Structure 1
Amino acid sequence: MKKNNIIFWVATTIIFIWEGVMPALTSQSEMAKEGISHLGYPAYFGIMLAVYKVLGAVAIMVPMVPARIKEWAYAGLSFSMLSAFISHWAVDGFNAQTPFPLFILAILMVSYIYYNKLKEPVKHGKVSFA
């Protein structure tokens, strides 16, 4: 159980930093704005995406958030990573940067798998998010 807890929190913290903290701090930087523009998206899309990423990252990080909300947050972050991969591939072709969103998606999947592993004991009266 302790191993599962550690794996969950390490993966979830990485996602929180990458998908929550980083967009919150950098979404209005010139580099971020250029990146959104380069992919062909309007400027407001970058703001909207940053807000959704921060909300999703907070939802999966905070233990008191209801399970149904967490499920939607995991789904939304997954769609975001898949869309980033497709956008980069469509605009820039396949290069060194293109598969990076899939790497983040893999970490998100680890978080989700271990979230569900830790959630199972709750059904038997045990609490595992300590």
Structure 2
Amino acid sequence: MKATKITYWITTVIVAVMMTYSFYAYLTNPALKQGFQHLGFPNYFKIELAVCKLIGAILLLQPLSKLAKEWAYAGFTITFVSAIIAHVSSGDPAGLFMAPVIFLVILGVSYFTYRKMQRAV
């Protein structure tokens, strides 16, 4: 159980830190505005996504209700899958859509270790 807890916290913190960094970068990095335009998204979507990423990161780290945490996992899964689809559909090279693939795997490990810990309680 100790290894499961350690794996859960490491993967969860990685996802939360990455999402918090995305929140900051989406609101401050002008290059990301061009990236969103390249993918065909309006500028306001970047702001919505940034706010949702910060809220989700907070929900993942807080010992709140199980339902809130499940929604955060679902939201991040949709975000990563959508990012992969957007990059592939835009004809971007593999290097641009591999990051969401990697973070989707990390998120999956976090989720499955979370569920394993919940079953043990």
Contact 2:11–2:109 (8 Å) recurs in 1:
yes
Asked if 1:14 is matched to 2:11, the reply is no
* Uncovered stretches (5+) of structure 2, i.e. residues with no partner: none
TM-score with structure 1 setting the length: 0.87
TM-score with structure 2 setting the length: 0.93
Query: Identity of paired residues, percent?
Result: 36
- Who is 2:48 aligned against? 48
Q: Deviations over 1:7-27 (max 9, x none)?
A: 0000000000111x2122211
* Uncovered stretches (5+) of structure 1, i.e. residues with no partner: 123-130
Three-state SS of the structure 1 residue aligned to 2:112 is helix
Structure 1 position 121, deviation (Å): 2.4
Q: Deviations over 1:44-97 (max 9, x none)?
A: 00000111111111111112x100111111011000000000000111244222
Asked if 1:34 is matched to 2:34, the reply is yes
CA RMSD of aligned residues (A): 1.1
The number of residues matched between the two structures is 120
Three-state SS of the structure 2 residue aligned to 1:32 is helix
State the 4+ residue runs in structure 1 displaced beyond 4 angstroms: none
For the pair shown, the structure with the greater C-alpha radius of gyration is: 1
Structure 1 position 112, deviation (Å): 0.2
